[in-house]
Amino acid sequence: MLTVGTLTMAWSARVSISARVSSSPQVSRSARVFRLVILLVCYSALIAATSATNSAAATNLHESQEKPLQLLSKAWRLPTFAQCDTRLGLTCDAQGMVISIDLPHRILTGVIPKAISAFVRLTKLSLHNNHLHGSVPPELSKLTLLQELYLHHNNLTGAIPATLSLLTNLDALNLGQNALSGPIPPQLGNLKALLLLNLDENRLSGNIPETLGKLPKLQHLELGGNELTGPIPASITALGNLLTLDLSPNKLTGAIPATIGGLKNLRWMYLSGNQISGSLPPAIGNLHDLEHLWIEDNRLAGPLPDQIGSCTSLQILYLSNNSITGSLPDSLGQLRAMRDMRLDHNMISGSLAPSVGALTNLSVLGGSSDSSNGSNGSSGGGGGGPSQGVIIGVVVGALLLVTALLVGFFVWCCSREGPSPFKHVKVVDSDDFDDAGLIPSLCCRYSLVEIRRATNNWSEESRLGNGAHSDVFKGTCPYNPASTWAVKRYKQQSSHFEKEVEQIASKWHPNLAHLLGYCVDTDSRVEDGRMVQVQEQIAVYEYVHHGDLSRYLYEDTFRASFALWERVDILIGIAHGLQYLHSAGMVHGDLKPSNILIDKSWQAKVANYGLLQRNEQSAVSAGKMFGTPGYVDPVYLTSHIATKASDVFSFGVLFLELLTGRPPFIRVQEEYGEDHIHIADWAAPLIEEGKTEEFKDPHLDVPESSFLSLAELAIRCTAMPFTERPPMGEVLATLKTIRTDFFGLTDPDDAYESMGDGGGMENGIGDDHDGNDGRPEWAVSVDQA
């Protein structure tokens, strides 16, 4: 075997010969050939030695990580890791060293092992949305190449290790939604590469460190939902690249820094639920890109500054429950993007300026309210009579009532004599709000101009697909280029569209594709040579790059590596989503692979729900035919009534597809020629006879017992009569049992139960936070509406 020393000697000899030959006045042809042969031999030997060295090094590096990988598998009750298997959450470099551990939403339990520090080349560690407990290991500081650390949405406790400040390559640190306590380490100010710092929804206390203002690249600072005290550090206003500032709720005091205008790129500011005092500083007008300003439930005083009219991108202004005084500035009329303004429970006098009437799609909350609850300041002393605060409250309430009556009379008169300047403004009374204080529909309403801008005026390059009920386009949010949309343009108009949108937007579950916004507007088109007015109905969802389930079922590239336990996980996710819809009294009506989306965490999301209306019999009357041939319940074809049992049938067909790799209608050779048979009718007798090998997807290699248990459950879902089908709750429980018994993947404390399967709702902000708009990773199908 050639060594480095041998190669060095050979190379020296080549140089010596070359020098002698080239120095000769007459160089023979044979000498030149000899020199070339020597050069090729040396070069070939060098390549061979380098290859052998790299191969040996790769083997050693691989072996050095076997034990840490075994420890992780044991600690988290996972199947034995196959190194460099990205489907199991591991990514390796060319030398076989693990550079990424990506295991979100895997229902992991236990602690984060110290052995994880053995992966010295790790650049990404993502363990969010699991059930991990214990502390954040200080040993993580040894992973000096780490760039992304996502541990949010677990049950971690203890303090944040100050040693994390040694991870100087870190650009994303998310420890939110845990139970961490103690102060925020000021040493985190050493993480100069940081773009995202999320510590929200913990039990952190103490002041916000001044050192956080020394993070020059920081774009998202999220510290809400803690017990932080003291003032907002003025140093934070030097973060010129900051897009999101979320400090609500906490126990912060003092005034908003007068230098707040230094956050020149800020888009979202959330300061609600603190004890902030003083007035809104005039420098707020420097925030020209600001879209959301939430400062509800504080102690703001004084009038609103005229400069607020310079926040020309502002869409949402929430200032409820403060002590703001004076009249509203006329400059509010300059906020053309404004959609929602809440000013109730303050001491504002006067009325809205007519210039505000030009703002389209604006809702204003400032109607009747008990103003005795409006001020956060304490009212004076005892005695049997009403306090000064109560008297002021009664007077202000009366003035507001009189003002509302006068405005109403003014609008009524103008509607008779000419267009009203307030024709676009909806005044919302506080009684219209639900118990959480939220407008029933929280998704954004976009104008047709914004939608056209997002989709490049419906360009063919933006088109993602055509469906029976809609066309789908890829778009870019006009106000946030980092946010990509899937825009559904419906072909048929519905008189209940806005009601359907409101119903869909009010539901949130990690296994449902969620709505971001909508548009109802009138457009002009040329049809048959003449200009006509057409109403547009458009829904906006977040774009999902991994597509729908059909590609994993029928594209060989994906299907070959689509393991059975992964298919079961997909089924469990779908079952969770359907169970949530059914508990909320909703029926999907068109379940199929193209309506199941797969996000980057390998989570299934049910799309295109909420299209069927509820009736008094707790079944859903569609009014017209819905569903897709092969998936639609045979009962529905005769009754035209879609029920929860109809969804169970469609789920059973999809279930069989995942087990067999075959479509809903299977081509068979009958006595009189070729025919098609439904997958349930084809599979049922084979399952009854135990002939699993005849219908199992050939890409699956699993024990017959586990496969038979799954197949029997799938057939039960397609049973006739429909009364013999199990409810989704039972299907879900059975799938979990099979998952535990046959795959060894346990979920003793189910992650989804807290997300509302029983009918509750949660505002699940930031599950897969990429720093775009604070929302979960929602999705949309590009096939059918």
pLDDT digits (tens, 9 = 90+) for 636-663: 877 778 899 999 999 999 999 999 999 9
pLDDT over threshold 50, residue 771: no
Q: Does the bond joining 249 to the residue before it have cis omega, within 30 degrees of 0? A: yes
CA 390 to chain centre: 45
The pLDDT of residue 756 = 42
pLDDT over threshold 80, residue 38: no
More confident residue, 30 or 324: 324
139-376+386-432 under CATH 3.30.70.980, yes or no: no
Q: How many helices and strands in the chain, by DSSP H and E? A: 15, 36
More confident residue, 158 or 702: 158
**From 79-88, 508-517, 569-578, the region with the lowest mean pLDDT:** 79-88
pLDDT digits (tens, 9 = 90+) for 60-111: 335 666 777 777 777 776 666 655 666 677 888 888 888 999 888 777 888 9
pLDDT digits (tens, 9 = 90+) for 315-372: 889 898 999 999 889 898 888 888 788 888 899 886 666 666 555 555 555 533 333 3
Confidence of residue 417 (pLDDT cuts 50, 70, 90): very low
Mean pLDDT over the full length of the chain: 75
Phi, psi (degrees; rounded to nearest 5) at 135: -100, 170
Domain boundaries, the chain: 4-63, 139-376+386-432, 444-542, 549-747
Residues in the chain, total = 785
- 3-state class of 302 per DSSP? strand
The pLDDT of residue 362 = 57
Average pLDDT, integer, range 697-709: 82
More confident residue, 150 or 450: 150
CA proximity to 363, closest of 431, 448, 439, 268: 439
Q: Residue 687 is inside which H or E element, if any?
A: helix 679-688
The pLDDT of residue 413 = 36
Burial status of residue 461 (CB atoms within 10 A of its CB: 0-12, 13-18, 19 or more): exposed
Decide: 580 and 535 in contact? Cβ < 8 Å: no
pLDDT over threshold 90, residue 430: no
Tell me the C-alpha distance between 785 and 777, whole Å.
20
**CATH number, domain 444-542:** 3.30.200.20
Question: Pairing between strand 530-542 and 203-207?
Answer: unpaired
Confidence of residue 312 (pLDDT cuts 50, 70, 90): very high
String of DSSP letters for 104-173: TTS--EE---GGGGG-TT--EEE--SSEEEE---GGGGG-TT--EEE--SSEEEEPPPGGGGG-TT--EE
Tell me the C-alpha distance between 586 and 580, whole Å.
9
Tell me the C-alpha distance between 771 and 265, whole Å.
14
Average pLDDT, integer, range 365-389: 39
Average pLDDT, integer, range 279-288: 96
More confident residue, 758 or 527: 527
Q: What residue type is assigned to position 203 of the chain? A: R
**From 47-61, 110-124, 256-270, 452-466, the region with the lowest mean pLDDT:** 47-61
pLDDT digits (tens, 9 = 90+) for 248-275: 889 999 999 999 999 999 999 999 999 9
Tell me the CA distances in angstroms from 482 to 84, 243, 311, 602, 766, one per residue in order: 30, 12, 21, 22, 16
The pLDDT of residue 750 = 44
The pLDDT of residue 361 = 53
User: Averaging pLDDT over each range in 207-211, 514-518, 627-631, which range is the top one?
Assistant: 207-211
Superfamily of domain 549-747: Transferase(Phosphotransferase) domain 1 (1.10.510.10)
Decide: 423 and 362 in contact? Cβ < 8 Å: no
Gyration radius of the chain's alpha carbons: 32
